[in-house]
Structure 1
């Protein structure tokens, strides 16, 4: 990236390299040194060195390779400092060897292999997800904490404990055998979904509201996971469901923002801007899955149900043509297997459209203790209060949602909705949901 004078924008290049290369660099370091802390810390140190050196020396021709080489040198120096015996000293020097690494097994992709190794059953499912999001997704602790609806300090402690447990248990960073893959799939799919969600609505002030590098990478890895699994297995069905969910959601990306960068709701989007190729691929895969289970929603897992909800939205030529009764029924099925507060919140939005805002508001108000610190709760509540004619209460809920908004595009949207409120009763819809949020 260059500025108007043709000079390289060093800060932008460092940010781009971190965004696009972090996972590959960390994966390579883990594969060679077998230590999560060394991999993460030396990669971070290499980027810190780039911040100091590149403005003086210039951006190297291959920034990713420069970071990788620098991180390797720092890892070697660290092992040499920590060496206590001659054999470890020799091991540290051997790390200078740039010969090809050992065979990687049947998973050829570095990123996917690291996800599977981080999702070791020695950790709880939540710890597997949190650790992998940090190591593989490159998400910050605050971004991961937001996805889990927990304080940042709590998430930082959880990730540290997960690393310590892996080290204490002596978990080898080797590729799992093919038969070891199915027990790890649930954690892997959860990681990919959260990475996708972070890209689809990125957090942080002044952040790009949509990060295609994350959404496209999550889709690519989901395709690879599906290819690893036995066809028609339970794991394959859920991996297919997740892929469909991502494809249908990604298809709406170009219509999600206004020309001014404001987030647009489903009923505000130009549906002609939706990517029909992605839509058609996703719906075809879902139809295959539904045919395989006789279209019995009781046989569908969480990701398959979320994909089916999104398919109903995708099939409606206009927002007012949406089959809300079908969406409510799918959320009912989803709530039976996943009675989480986020599922109940999204179900309430569907009930508002199918039944009434008053019925939905009663459901939402019961979620205050669990979701009171989450922007989606206050956004939904503001819309429902607006629909029921309680303008002042709606303004207050919008204000709280704006405080908790995860990026500027969302905050701008919420401010517009708040400022549109008048004393008159509004009859516009709430259709804010695009399936479950993370």
Structure 2
């Protein structure tokens, strides 16, 4: 192999980590049978690639190379520790029969068939033997790659508390030897809801990152859509169709949601010619199939709302009465203050800002959404449209204090400056 400039290797590895680390980790967990060992192995493999690829050149299958190298390094570490603990030697022999290392790419396929390792990992993390809060926290950490701090903010809890949930979930998987597999076909329907929820959370973090310098994380939303397609192949249920439709319809707007410099653009201000019409057509077809089944649920209703938006040429031309009605159905199916907030915004578009503001203030009066920055931002916008400058300023400032995302912070700061200049 010819040498490769180290800058090119770094760039390649950065891209691989963003796009492939989840799948690499999932395969290493299957091969090694331990979450923490697999995480260490993956990081060791990336470090080894940074050292070897500049001299050896890029391998034909970088992901396969990283998986195989990570596996071998983990086994090598176990064998070194076996000098002090005989049980580690037994584990190493189980992981690599024959007692010696295979070539770097041997036995590791670059492409997995359905069901793949990441889907197996999701089903393991969502096993019913785990506590519900542990299932979600573990999946967001291991499948989505979110930090403990990011997940803790989403759960409105502390990082140490969240970390303990993850530790307990991993221990239960290890101690009870929970199977690393997609359930049998007859078990799938009972397990589907938990997995759909995790894929939805994964997509949401990709569609609107909870924190950081970027509005979105394309790696997560792309992977969630891929997994959504796999789930639909495994079990073509209406809610699986609804979830995939929702993700496709939301993803169709990606190019229009930010300026070239990364600034946030609201839905009403987006250039709709940039929306991906192929994704919209696929999403609309799926949501129509799900609705025709009459066995749909909240994901399908949300997809129907997204479909109504996708059919409108502008915010003013949107069928707001239909969206209000769909949010009413959604609120009955899954009562939630966030759903009620979205319905209030739709009511404001249908009946005027005063009607929406009454509903939002009612939610605040019930003690709900006080720590939710989007609720304060929505209230601020309605106050601004009503000319209530002081109330708008207070709500924008509260939203600004709560948000952890830089594009949202810059947007809110811009709104405050515009408010002062009026």
Work out whether the TM-score is over 0.5. yes
In 2, distance between residues paired with 1:411 and 1:316? 29
Residue 61 of structure 1 pairs with residue 58 of structure 2: yes
Residue 349 of structure 1 pairs with residue 345 of structure 2: yes
Candidates 162, 170, 176, aligned match of 2:177? 170
Q: 1:433 maps to which residue?
A: none
**CA contact 1:107–1:113 (8 Å) conserved in 2:** no
Write out aligned runs for 1:306-345 (5 A).
Answer: 306-345=302-341
Q: 1:260 maps to which residue?
A: 261
Runs of 5+ unmatched residues, structure 2: none
Larger mean Cα displacement after TM superposition, 374-383 or 315-324? 374-383
Runs of 5+ unmatched residues, structure 1: 1-5, 294-298, 425-438
1:149 CA displacement: 4.1
In 1, distance between residues paired with 2:31 and 2:257? 41
1:253 CA displacement: 0.9
Larger mean Cα displacement after TM superposition, 239-248 or 216-225? 216-225
Closer, same or farther: CA 96–418 of 1 in aligned 2, 3 Å: farther
In 2, distance between residues paired with 1:341 and 1:198? 19
Q: 2:94 maps to which residue?
A: 91
Candidates 223, 227, 236, aligned match of 1:217? 223
Residue 361 of structure 1 pairs with residue 368 of structure 2: no
Closer, same or farther: CA 269–87 of 1 in aligned 2, 3 Å: closer
Candidates 172, 183, 186, aligned match of 1:179? 186
In 2, distance between residues paired with 1:127 and 1:340? 21
SS at the partner of 1:327? helix
In 1, distance between residues paired with 2:288 and 2:33? 42
In 2, distance between residues paired with 1:340 and 1:145? 20
Q: 1:141 maps to which residue?
A: 148
1:302 CA displacement: 0.8
SS at the partner of 2:7? coil
Closer, same or farther: CA 349–101 of 1 in aligned 2, 3 Å: same
CA RMSD of aligned residues (A): 3.0
1:210 CA displacement: 2.7
Closer, same or farther: CA 355–263 of 1 in aligned 2, 3 Å: same
**CA contact 2:64–2:108 (8 Å) conserved in 1:** no
In 2, distance between residues paired with 1:365 and 1:13? 50
**CA contact 1:256–1:269 (8 Å) conserved in 2:** yes
Closer, same or farther: CA 96–361 of 1 in aligned 2, 3 Å: farther
In 1, distance between residues paired with 2:258 and 2:357? 27
1:132 CA displacement: 1.7
Q: 1:24 maps to which residue?
A: 23
TM-score (norm: length of structure 1): 0.82
1:345 CA displacement: 1.7
In 2, distance between residues paired with 1:89 and 1:283? 50
Structure with the larger RCO, 1 or 2 (CA within 8 Å, 6+ apart): 1
1:390 CA displacement: 2.0
Closer, same or farther: CA 378–78 of 1 in aligned 2, 3 Å: farther
Closer, same or farther: CA 212–105 of 1 in aligned 2, 3 Å: closer
Closer, same or farther: CA 59–190 of 1 in aligned 2, 3 Å: farther
**CA contact 1:133–1:144 (8 Å) conserved in 2:** yes
1:241 CA displacement: 0.4
1:87 CA displacement: 4.1
**CA contact 1:76–1:96 (8 Å) conserved in 2:** no
Closer, same or farther: CA 175–275 of 1 in aligned 2, 3 Å: closer
Q: 2:117 maps to which residue?
A: 110
Larger mean Cα displacement after TM superposition, 81-90 or 303-312? 81-90
SS at the partner of 1:421? helix
**CA contact 1:147–1:194 (8 Å) conserved in 2:** no
1:264 CA displacement: 0.6
